[in-house]
Amino acid sequence: MPTTPTSGEARRYADRMLSEITAALLQRDPRRCRTVSDQVYASTLDPAAVDAAVSYALEQAVQHAWDRHWRPVELDHALRRFAARAGAPKAAAGWMSQLLCDVIAGRMRVHDPATVDGRWSAELATLDATVWWTGDTGQLAQFGERHGLVREKVLGGAFELMRWLYQELPPMEPAGHAPGSPIPPRRTGSGTGKSTDQRMLDRIRALLAKAESTGFPEEAEAFTAKAQQLMARHSIDHALIDAATGAGDGPATRRIVIANPYEGPKAMLLQVVADANRCRALNYKDLGLSTVVGFEPDLDAVELLYTSLLVQAVQAMTVANPRADRYGRNDVRSFRQAFLSAYAQRIGERLTEVREEVDAELSAGTDLVPVLAARSEAVDAAFEELFPHRVSRTSRVANAAGWASGRAAADRAELAVRQRLPEPTAR
């Protein structure tokens, strides 16, 4: 007469089955994966033991993605894109995304908080990735109850999530610090530090917030221009201190999510903002992500300015309504695609002009030019090392009215500051 396995034996059996599934996924053996998955569905083992094994296997799959340099926000973004392309209903995509966030929160428990940097923690907060369930076992059962899903549905979603994490995600270049190892100290020269950087970033954020909130394009771009001036001066301050002391870190990388719709023009906007701030950007079109290479102060500037300009560009695009052509056609999508492309190009020109004005002003009577040239060369070298086989793509603008309207909007939003703006006041 067969005996009922103890709880410890049940967990070991369940772990063995999940290890088989993981191995089949890594070896891309779908037949073996289906066979073992069916065994899990039909298993008479204690469901709590099976669920605990599945939860652990999911966490290992997430760790595998982190080891390949994927970050939490990027994983959620990529999963939603994958679900949309696969034609998954929005409800299913929603609870799959939530399952991923729960697994991420569960995996974070094994990492010392001292090894988690601020940017990673901010991404977890953005996703609301927190441990909401009670106890170390029963996570999947509680997840099913919370979302009104039967156990087989939850298990199927868990296996599909594992397959996606192991098989659909390509390895990425390092971008920031992942948990699990000590945070490398940031070397800075004397006279600058975290508190100084933070005060400058706060001033820039205040200016960009004003740019986003005003209803007058000229005023918005005046605030944006002032922010770009501050960014350029701050970058030069870091460059001079690093050159004088021989301290400072080299170029770093940062990835930024490019959300639908109109991903192409949005990636173009990021690229021109990066170029205007001595950085280089590469877009992963299929993933909806862009990697930016540059020195840390410049990466901060690019991320802040891109986020704000995207808000401003969408506001301007929404106001500019396309008119029907002589044949009665009114292609809103092509108009907006062209609008954002033209807007990005023109804004890039304006930002570069502002930076060049600051460079010229601060270079007079100094040795600044070779210092900035050395920084640009360092960024170029790091970019080439990361992406030696990149392929350039060009896009065709199919809506002349949209292009003209977008460029006109950027022209009206003149970025040259004619007189000094008042310093932002604390809110």
pLDDT at 96: 96
pLDDT confidence of residue 101: 97
- Compute the distance between CA of residue 11 and CA of residue 148 in angstroms, rounded to an integer: 26
CB-based contact 256:175 (threshold 8 Å): no
Distance CA 233, CA 97 (A): 41
Residue 359 in contact with residue 372, Cβ under 8 Å?
yes
**Residue of 287, 77, 253 whose CA lies nearest to 174:** 253
**DSSP assignment of 209-256, as one string?**
HHHHH-S-HHHHHHHHHHHHHHHHHHHHHHHHHHHHHS-S---EEEEE
Q: What are phi and psi of 88, to 5 degrees?
A: -70, 140
335: left (phi over 0), alpha (psi -120 to 50) or beta: alpha
- pLDDT tens readout for residues 74-131: 999 999 999 999 898 989 999 999 999 999 999 999 998 888 988 999 999 999 999 9
Cα(184)–Cα(196) distance, integer angstroms? 20
Q: Which helix (H) or strand (E) holds 43?
A: none
For 79-110, the DSSP string reads HHHHHHHTT--HHHHHHHHHHHHHHHHHHHTT
Ranges of each domain in the chain: 7-167, 194-412
> Which token pair is 361?
């002003």
CB 279 within 8 A of CB 292: yes
pLDDT score, position 384:
94
Q: How far apart are CA 146 and CA 339, in angstroms?
A: 43
Asked if residues 295 and 238 have their Cβ atoms less than 8 Å apart, the reply is yes
Q: How many helices (H) and strands (E) does the chain have?
A: 15, 3
Q: Cα angle vertex 57, ends 55, 63, to 5°?
A: 105
What are the phi and psi torsion angles at 251 (to 5°)? -60, 145
Per the DSSP assignment, residues forming a β-bridge with 289 are 257, 284
**Which of 173, 180, 178, 109 lies closest to 139 in space, CA to CA?**
109
Q: How many CA atoms lie within 13 A of 386 on its CB side?
A: 23
User: Given CA atoms 63, 64, 67, 70 in this order, what sign does their dihedral have?
Assistant: negative
pTM: 0.82
Low-confidence stretches of the chain (pLDDT beneath 50): 1-2, 188-191, 394-404, 412-427
Q: Determine the pLDDT at residue 322.
A: 64
